[in-house]
Amino acid sequence: MKRIIFSLVMVATLLTGCYKDDINDLRKDLEELRKEQERQAQLLVDYETLLKAFQDRLTVTGVTETADGFEVTFSDGSTKKLAQTSIVRVVEEGGTITFYMSDGSTITMNQTETVGLWVLSEGGFGSGNGQLVYYSLDIATNRFVRDNERRFTNFGETPNDLMIYGSKMYATITGTEAGGIVRVLNPITGETIRDIVLSKESVNQQPRRLAAANGNVFVTLYSGAVAQIDTTSFTNQVIGLTGTFSEGIAVQGQSLFIANSGQGEGNTVSVVDIPTFTETRVLEVPYNPTNIVSTSTGELFLNTAAVWMGPAAGAPANVHVLNAATGQITQTLNTQVESIAAGRNFVYGAFFDWNTFGGSIKQISIANKVVSDFTSSANVSSLMFPYKVSVNPITNEVFVTQQMGQAVARYSENGTLIETLQVGQQNGAVVAFVNIVR
- pLDDT, one tens digit per residue, over 393-437 is 888 999 999 998 899 999 999 999 999 999 999 999 999 999 987
Alpha carbon separation from 395 to 63, 78, 112, 184, 421 (Å, rounded): 11, 12, 10, 26, 18
The secondary structure of 116-178 as a DSSP string is: EEEEEE--STTS-B-EEEEEEEETTTTEEEEEEEEEE-S-BS-EEEEEEETTEEEEEEEEETT
CB-CB contact of 68 with 83 (8 Å): yes
Q: What pLDDT, on a 0 to 100 scale, did the predictor assign at position 277?
A: 98
Q: What pLDDT, on a 0 to 100 scale, did the predictor assign at position 221?
A: 97
* Residues whose CB falls within 8 Å of the CB of residue 336, separated by 6 or more in sequence, listed in order: 306, 316, 317, 318, 351, 353, 360
Q: What pLDDT, on a 0 to 100 scale, did the predictor assign at position 10?
A: 55
Q: What CA–CA distance (Å, rounded) separates 269 from 285?
A: 7
DSSP designation for 57: T
Q: What CA–CA distance (Å, rounded) separates 61 from 406?
A: 30
Q: What CA–CA distance (Å, rounded) separates 282 from 262?
A: 14
Q: Which CATH class is domain 155-431?
A: mainly beta
Q: What pLDDT, on a 0 to 100 scale, did the predictor assign at position 15?
A: 53
Q: What CA–CA distance (Å, rounded) separates 389 from 348?
A: 7
Q: What CA–CA distance (Å, rounded) separates 267 from 286?
A: 5
Q: What pLDDT, on a 0 to 100 scale, did the predictor assign at position 68?
A: 87
Domain ranges of the chain: 2-110, 155-431
- Rounded to 5°, the CA angle 323-325-326 comes to 70
Each residue of 39-89: pLDDT tens digit? Answer: 889 989 998 998 888 888 788 888 888 888 898 988 777 888 999 888 988
Partnered with residue 436 across adjacent β-strands are: 113
The parts of the chain modelled with pLDDT lower than 50 are: 2
* Residues whose CB falls within 8 Å of the CB of residue 21, separated by 6 or more in sequence, listed in order: none
CB-CB contact of 404 with 352 (8 Å): no
How many residues can be counted in the chain?
438
End-to-end CA separation in angstroms for the chain? 89
Q: What CA–CA distance (Å, rounded) separates 159 from 8?
A: 100
